[in-house]
Structure 1
Amino acid sequence: MATLGKLKACDRSTLDFIDLDGLRKLIRDYKPDVIVNAAAYTDVDKAESDEENAFQVNSRAVDLLAQEAKVLDAWLVHYSTDYVFDGEKMSPYTEEDKTNPLSVYGKTKLQGEEAIKKSKCKYLIFRTSWLYGTHGKNFFKTIIKLAKERDELRVVSNQIGAPTSAELVADVTSLCLYRIAQNSLSSKEISGIYHLTSTGKASWYDFAKYVIIEAKKSGGVFLTNPENIIAINASEYVLPAKRPANSLLDTQKLCKTFNLQLPVWQIHADRVIKELYLREA
């Protein structure tokens, strides 16, 4: 995104979303043309017993961002989640489908979306799912770690989605903002919610097996062999928060509006695996 203009990046140490006064002051001091909010309370299970903090970060702080964006006539780019749906649909979810979150996390993320829409600011809400990368806590890194420590892994096979790399989300975000900056699209036409994921589909089991097979080709050494990754039902792996069984999101609106194509999930998975092992070499 730095190629699009002057960039001010803030991490948790410099900007705490619990501190709304500090958040408001930073925005008013900097007066940005675009606010990109990648911050969120993402500990899905902890949120079940920590609802107030999840609401503060995922909803109340987002409401403030939207209000300030409206005052500045700035764009607000915000990332949301497949968890706003219950996962009962048999096909990919469109932006028009009814929301019905199963968890506190999903509910607070939906509240954040609604606050943005209510503010009447210029906005892009990108709903994504199954995010992973070489940084932070995510399924991809967890599988790599556990496969080095255990000779067998049991992974849920009856939840499906499209594994989506953080790199892809960043690249698409930059492209969309570039198109807006070139005045090829008007704010009234394109403000809205868009689904942004890789194409194709996989279960968590499929994804785990693919990662270990391809990581071994890149030099990864594991106690777990691919044949020792065992498919299990989600009911066998009880967690505090309910997850949607179907996390597939229909991305046609995004592709048509911004004239782009999204890759199958394996392409970025291969790229992230190679990046990880080049870094460790």
Structure 2
Amino acid sequence: MTFHIGDRIELAGFGKVSVEDTPEDLQNKTDNDADIVLKNALVVDSTGVYPADVSISDGVIVSVGTSQNAMKTYDADGYVLTAGRIFTGKVSEAGNAEELLFSGYSTAIFELDCGRERVAEVLMEKNSLPVNLGFIPSADSCRCFVSDDFCPVLDRGSHTDFEGENSDIMRRIAEQTILPAFRCGISSHVGTIEVGKLADLFLWRPEEFFRKPAKIFKSGRLVFDSTLTDRRDIVYSLLSCSTEWGVRNPCAFFTSVGAAKGYLGRRMGCERNVIAVEG
């Protein structure tokens, strides 16, 4: 089923949405060939609801809305494409953390009490999770000594105004993606399907939207494809396939500029992409 401008699509749990044109400020195209292109997807995002081709190179989105040559093409016709959701909260609130990825979450920012020992303890415990990781100080922690290991907690982006027929779904998507990204200081890297952001992408069938992903891309790698197998353990195998990928694990570790340059950054850089968050 190909999506066309003007169509009304029923999404499970969200009702009907109207397919719109790609926003002009998102229509980007690079001159060079991409590594991967997802063709004919229906993007459902806080930026809008629109059909688009999404091109990826080096694990990052390089174009949205325009067709581009690529070494590998995935046909996303009939699928809904979203950016990964962002979990923020205490470790105990994450429930079965193994389920995060298969619930559409690509990033988990855990709220912890301040202190390097606590960060190191949880990091050792959660480092095997196939999601981006980061930490922010918990609301009830002592704020008089915020460790360098924590991402900043920011006030900007606490609300976003949406207009038009799809304003409700855009707002609901934003609450689970770009708004927590703003709060945690990582909105330059995750939260929407835009050029320059990590290609942490989920393809859903409309009738299973936000319930059961059909395909999962982590930093541009296809790590799960339900059309081939429902086995979830294959995700870990693909994440650590060193013969095909230059970096062993495509998941990111978000931390402060100081921590990224210090011991923690050097230690994590052997396993994850370390991204220094400024804020």
TM over 0.5: no
Give the number of the structure whose residues are more often helix, by fraction.
Answer: 1
Query: Normalized against structure 1, the TM-score is what?
Result: 0.30
Instruction: Please say which structure displays the higher CA radius of gyration.
Output: 1
Query: Normalized against structure 2, the TM-score is what?
Result: 0.30
